[in-house]
Structure 1
Amino acid sequence: MSKVRRCFKMKLYKGYEEEYEKRHNNLWPEMKEMIHEYGGSNYSIYLDTETNYLYGYIEVDDLDRWNESAKTEICKKWWDYMSDIMETNPDNSPVCVDLKPVFFLE
């Protein structure tokens, strides 16, 4: 089964670069488990320090299954935890814009 590659951007508030990295370096074990349980792997997040945009890349087994992870209690708890340092929607999910793939080389 081939993985679905996703890339997206989010916006970090200025001055929270170190805090964002610290929180992710201490990612809760329950979040790691949930990401893997819902088929996520090879997850990376990069920060553009000029714009404070975060660029995320993840490979998922099944996009519908992955989208279900947003309904888990641990995901909602993580969103609440991160909502003070980044742009969020009313439910505290990050404002996330999918990026269009234009090139891939394996």
Structure 2
Amino acid sequence: MIRKASVMKVYKQHHEEYRKRHDELWPEMKDMLKEHGVLEYSIFLDAETDSLFAYLTIKDEELWARSADTDICRKWWAYMKDIMETNPDDSPISRELPEVFRLAD
């Protein structure tokens, strides 16, 4: 199991819309994530800074990387680009965060 974390930005006026779209996550998007090795995926919002903190566990880095090349992922990015900061290809502007501490059994 591989743990990953990243940060993104949602536009202030779209916090609730961001939540709504994820509450209504398309079944085919959910299936694609599972098919690409996602075991868990959580996103947290810091409403004061408009920052999104994403945390996920995956099975394999290469499998996960291929998720970005799927039609459904690109469709999702296009769907989300009006409410968050994105790159020219519609992918979210995202910074990976290195793990600096973990307490586990």
TM-score scaled by structure 1?
0.96
What percentage of residue pairs aligned between the two structures are identical? 53
1:46 corresponds to = 44
Question: How far, CA to CA, are the matches of 2:39 and 2:19 in structure 1?
Answer: 19
Aligned match for 1:98, one of 49, 74, 96: 96
Contiguous gaps of at least 5 residues in structure 2: none
Question: How far, CA to CA, are the matches of 2:54 and 2:101 in structure 1?
Answer: 16
1:60 aligns with 2:63: no
Code of the aligned partner of 1:84: D
1:72 aligns with 2:73: no
State how many pairs are aligned.
Answer: 104
Question: How far, CA to CA, are the matches of 2:102 and 2:64 in structure 1?
Answer: 22
Q: What displacement does 1:42 show?
A: 1.3
Question: How far, CA to CA, are the matches of 1:95 and 1:84 in structure 2?
Answer: 13
- Cα RMSD (Å) of the superposition? 0.5
Code of the aligned partner of 1:50: E
Question: How far, CA to CA, are the matches of 1:66 and 1:32 in structure 2?
Answer: 13
Contiguous gaps of at least 5 residues in structure 1: none
SS at match of 1:33: helix
Code of the aligned partner of 1:37: E
Aligned match for 1:25, one of 4, 23, 26: 23
- Runs (4+) of structure 1 exceeding 2 A deviation are none
TM-score scaled by structure 2?
0.97
